[in-house]
Structure 1
Amino acid sequence: MGTPQQHSISEAQAAMRSGKLSSVELVRRCLDRHRRYNGALNATLCLAHGALDQAAQCDAEARRGHFRGRLHGIPLVVKDNIDVKGMPTTAASALFAQASPCVRDARAVEKLRGEGAIILAKTNMDEFAAHISGRTSHWGPSVNPWRMEERFSPGGSSSGTAAAVAAGFCWGGLGTDTGGSVRLPAAWCGLCGLRPTYGSVSLDGVYPRASSLDTVGALAGSVRDVSLLMEIAAEAPFPGAKAGTRGNGLRIAVLAGDMEDAPHAVREACALSIRRWNELGTCVWSSFPLLEDPDVMSTVDLLRSYEFARDVRRDMEAHPEAENTVHAGVLADYRKGQSVPAREYEEALRRKREFTNAVEAFFINTGVDFLLLPAARCAAPRIDAPAEEFGRARSLVNLFSITENPSLALPGAQADGMPFGLQLVGPRGSDGPLLRAGMAYEAAYGPFPMPL
């Protein structure tokens, strides 16, 4: 059976409007794939009740010529730190294993539903969004659908959303990105994912990880679908998002990072992807030492720990069993945050502003439109890889976790049969042009294959 992603969202919508496709068909395909693969992937935590009934209602409305919006009858999934009415939010933690169903949608979910989306499931994640492996969930690890039997990491913390989209359980989904948690899963699962300009999507109804870094992002099989989801979820339209795709004439600064120790197949995949971008515009090799400055990582870590400890303190103190049930890494981060003096936190916020200004100055001084770099130094490691391997993997996403820039992860080439993704980064507020550039790349080189 083919995957549901044989259409883009806009193509599926056109087929529904012409009567060639129904929402019930879409939802049934997704549920069939879920039944077939989720036992191995552990991508979802909770299926919505009545999804087929909602789809039937959408179809009845369509027959009367009424369409709720641009997502009418389209099945999506939502990461389990984002509230969905009628479903619990557990943040993949034992602390909330008995959580009651939410009484309202998060703002981003509300906006998707307003355009007719059907929320099919809540997805697995790293506990409290505090890792990038997908293996720290109270409900067990999620698995990358690529070479599924070998149990590679899907990336995290939006692990379940990435696995669900790549496996064809849905047309797209919401994740969150604090320190790479949309970009790495997209890159390792052969998907597209956007960390938008900080503050452009409401965090209302999102369980906090680090409020000065948290963003809601979308993952899908194409840049075009990510663009549609993000345009709907954002609080204001992305400037230029509806203009035609732009390719020729782009000036792109390539920041390759230190890839000398990367496997040969990864270096080859990276080089091929960069050559493709160079065919769309002009790529210039650039040096930007701040990319891998140790002070950037320490600043990200300090902000994340301090704000996490501050924002989850009430829940931790209300659950004395946390000491024995919460993942050791989460507890270590919480305790670290408790020990950070307020003056050090204020200093970290000052450095954050300095880094943000430095990146904006780089765009201005070089005259480039975007920065291009790998999302990680490796393709997906195995789920049980050493912690150091995951730590090294996230080093290329740290800077743009802290500088408020929009960053689009999109597939490059395959390395040893696994996806290897790149990041395209733009100035703050350039989400629309960034997505258009991604669509130009996609139009030139076609969609990335799906794994199952």
Structure 2
Amino acid sequence: MDGNMSVAGLSVLLQSGALDPVTLAEAVLDKIAGYKDQSIFTEVLGERALAEAKAASARIRSGRSLGLLDGIPMAWKDLFDTAGSVTKAGSVVLSDRTPAKQDAPVVRALASAGMVSVGRTNLSEFAFSGLGINPHYGTAQNPRSQDVPRIPGGSSSGSAVAVAAGLVPVAMGTDTGGSIRIPAAFNGIVGYKATRGRYAMDGVFPLASSLDSLGPLCRSVQDAVWIDAAMRGRAAPNIARTNGGDIKLVIAETIVFDDAEAGVVAAFEQAVRRLRAAGVAVERRAFPAFAEIFELMARHGALVTAEAYALHKERLHGDAAARMDQRVVARARLGEKIGMTDYIAILEARRRLIGQFKASLNPGELIVHPTLPHVAPPIAPLIADDDLFFKINGKTLRNTLIGNFLDGCGVSIPCGTGEAGMPVGLLISGQAGEDERLLSAALSLEAVIRGEA
């Protein structure tokens, strides 16, 4: 199996009978077992994968394929319940939990489409970091690095690396402040964060329910479109390609370019020139709401921190805290300082800012900017220095958390490289519920953004 093959590419081989699902599953499992970095997966679901692959093989051979995704291997971030496995959320303090009795609804939906679950992937503990460093299960290394070990991005670190390393064509992630789009950009793959509530959240370990959303990390926007349809129980996707001349993009100029690396800006601007040459309407605009989000956080604290503290309060003040990542503990404990009046003020301001942002856009416009202001930095300095860790974590989350706070959706697409030849991502974002418009535009523009058209 070509490790760089997309879901769509594999589907052609499987549905035509040129590749058997069992052969594919065995190859994937062998590649995972032999891969040099063993911190990508927290659990390999070998028995399940082979059983599901055998069932897919029998269906396809008898002419009863479940559709485009039948027999396609995938991996799940260790926040999703899979029957018989313990959902540890990247933490050792949950390792003694009772194994899940059943799959989470989204896991069940993709199994119903014939997808083959091969494993559970590593993440930042409790999904509470944008860097992907995990002191318990190891830190998956960014496979695009050619010099020193670099971070994978988080919190969906293992999911991104599993795809970027060619171990699986797609892996599922969650996104509370950028946890799909960040590792997608760092690893040079596609990451789609859906509007919050687009998929069922039952059986998914939370971080902050006001912000949590789901989505796939994969090799192409087309793959994301197919996965999105199956997650919603659709037999086939209904996303149409759009004429580039009908797409309206607005480059956000507030906050997102502050202190950005020159290589990131250069790669982004080159992609913008390609888009304009392809006939896409692109303009630049300031968005005061972006700046106000950070002023609000400075005044009242972060919404994610308040809700994470409420979720983990007993652990943070009990014996479990000593066994947790101390950086997660320190950051989560900041939520104790966020009182009820602060929390209500944040929620009220959020509603106002979402309305203000919507009013600042014309119908049909989508936002674009660099997914991140920098490429993936080396791991070692971040492990050695707490102050540097928190500084870079904040900078890494900055551009993407805006979309979560404004309750939108977004797709990160590779658009070039920056320092040390590391990938740079371009983020296209829409407002809440604009997923179809977003995916249609991303599907139509992907080749131009990548410089392939």
TM superposition score normalised by structure 1: 0.91
Find the aligned partners of 2:233 and 2:347 in 1 and give their Cα distance: 25
Deviation for aligned residue 1:434: 0.9
Deviation for aligned residue 1:340: 2.2
Q: Tell me the SS of whatever aligns to 2:37.
A: helix
Deviation for aligned residue 1:137: 4.6
Find the aligned partners of 1:277 and 1:119 in 2 and give their Cα distance: 37
Aligned residue type for 2:304: R
Deviation for aligned residue 1:70: 3.2
Would the aligned equivalents of 1:363 and 1:427 in 2 still touch at CA under 8 Å?
no
Q: How does 1:300-339 map to 2 (within 5 A)?
A: 302-313=302-313, 320-339=318-337
Would the aligned equivalents of 1:76 and 1:120 in 2 still touch at CA under 8 Å?
yes
Deviation for aligned residue 1:445: 5.8
Structure-1 residue corresponding to 2:45 = 48
Change beyond 3 A, Cα 1:297–1:276: farther
Would the aligned equivalents of 2:130 and 2:396 in 1 still touch at CA under 8 Å?
no
Number of equivalent positions: 440
Find the aligned partners of 1:165 and 1:299 in 2 and give their Cα distance: 39
Would the aligned equivalents of 1:300 and 1:398 in 2 still touch at CA under 8 Å?
no
Change beyond 3 A, Cα 1:342–1:408: same
Aligned residue type for 1:303: L
Residue number among 90, 108, 115 corresponding to 2:106 in the alignment: 108
Query: Is 1:275 the counterpart of 2:276 in the alignment?
Result: no
Would the aligned equivalents of 1:85 and 1:104 in 2 still touch at CA under 8 Å?
yes
Query: Is 1:17 the counterpart of 2:21 in the alignment?
Result: no
Query: Is 1:383 the counterpart of 2:379 in the alignment?
Result: yes
Find the aligned partners of 1:24 and 1:258 in 2 and give their Cα distance: 45
Deviation for aligned residue 1:315: 5.4
Query: Is 1:135 the counterpart of 2:139 in the alignment?
Result: no
Find the aligned partners of 1:420 and 1:29 in 2 and give their Cα distance: 30
Change beyond 3 A, Cα 1:258–1:435: closer
Which segment is superposed worse, 144-153 or 102-111? 144-153
Q: How does 1:288-437 map to 2 (within 5 A)?
A: 288-293=287-292, 294-298=294-298, 302-313=302-313, 320-364=318-362, 367=363, 369-384=365-380, 385=382, 386-387=388-389, 388-415=391-418, 416-437=420-441
Would the aligned equivalents of 2:413 and 2:450 in 1 still touch at CA under 8 Å?
no
Would the aligned equivalents of 1:172 and 1:221 in 2 still touch at CA under 8 Å?
yes
CA-to-aligned-CA distance 1:170-217 (integer Å, 9 cap, x gap): 110111000110110111111111111121111111111001000111
Structure-2 residue corresponding to 1:286 = 285
Find the aligned partners of 2:374 and 2:186 in 1 and give their Cα distance: 9
Aligned residue type for 2:124: D
Residue number among 202, 206, 219 corresponding to 1:208 in the alignment: 206
Find the aligned partners of 1:130 and 1:237 in 2 and give their Cα distance: 34
Q: Tell me the SS of whatever aligns to 1:218.
A: strand
Find the aligned partners of 1:299 and 1:369 in 2 and give their Cα distance: 31
Would the aligned equivalents of 1:43 and 1:123 in 2 still touch at CA under 8 Å?
yes
Deviation for aligned residue 1:96: 1.2
Find the aligned partners of 2:417 and 2:68 in 1 and give their Cα distance: 32
Change beyond 3 A, Cα 1:30–1:270: same
Give RMSD over aligned pairs: 2.4
Structure 2, unaligned stretches of length 5 or more? 383-387
Deviation for aligned residue 1:81: 1.2
Would the aligned equivalents of 1:161 and 1:175 in 2 still touch at CA under 8 Å?
yes
Residue number among 136, 160, 163 corresponding to 2:161 in the alignment: 163
Structure 1, unaligned stretches of length 5 or more? none
Find the aligned partners of 1:299 and 1:276 in 2 and give their Cα distance: 40
Aligned residue type for 2:369: L
Deviation for aligned residue 1:274: 1.6
CA-to-aligned-CA distance 1:311-355 (integer Å, 9 cap, x gap): 2345557xx432311112222233222332212111111111112
Would the aligned equivalents of 1:297 and 1:399 in 2 still touch at CA under 8 Å?
no
Q: Tell me the SS of whatever aligns to 1:200.
A: coil
Deviation for aligned residue 1:443: 3.9
Would the aligned equivalents of 2:130 and 2:154 in 1 still touch at CA under 8 Å?
yes
Give the percent of matched residue pairs that are identical in Structure 1 and Structure 2: 29
Deviation for aligned residue 1:41: 5.7
Deviation for aligned residue 1:375: 0.9
Q: Tell me the SS of whatever aligns to 1:363.
A: coil
Q: Tell me the SS of whatever aligns to 1:398.
A: helix
Find the aligned partners of 2:184 and 2:130 in 1 and give their Cα distance: 12
Deviation for aligned residue 1:67: 1.5
Query: Is 1:254 the counterpart of 2:251 in the alignment?
Result: yes
Find the aligned partners of 1:192 and 1:134 in 2 and give their Cα distance: 17
Which segment is superposed worse, 337-346 or 126-135? 337-346
Aligned residue type for 2:44: L
Would the aligned equivalents of 2:271 and 2:451 in 1 still touch at CA under 8 Å?
no
Change beyond 3 A, Cα 1:246–1:22: farther
Change beyond 3 A, Cα 1:445–1:273: closer
Aligned residue type for 2:310: R
Find the aligned partners of 1:430 and 1:133 in 2 and give their Cα distance: 28
Find the aligned partners of 2:311 and 2:326 in 1 and give their Cα distance: 18
TM superposition score normalised by structure 2: 0.90
Change beyond 3 A, Cα 1:300–1:206: farther
Would the aligned equivalents of 1:270 and 1:413 in 2 still touch at CA under 8 Å?
yes
Find the aligned partners of 1:121 and 1:345 in 2 and give their Cα distance: 37
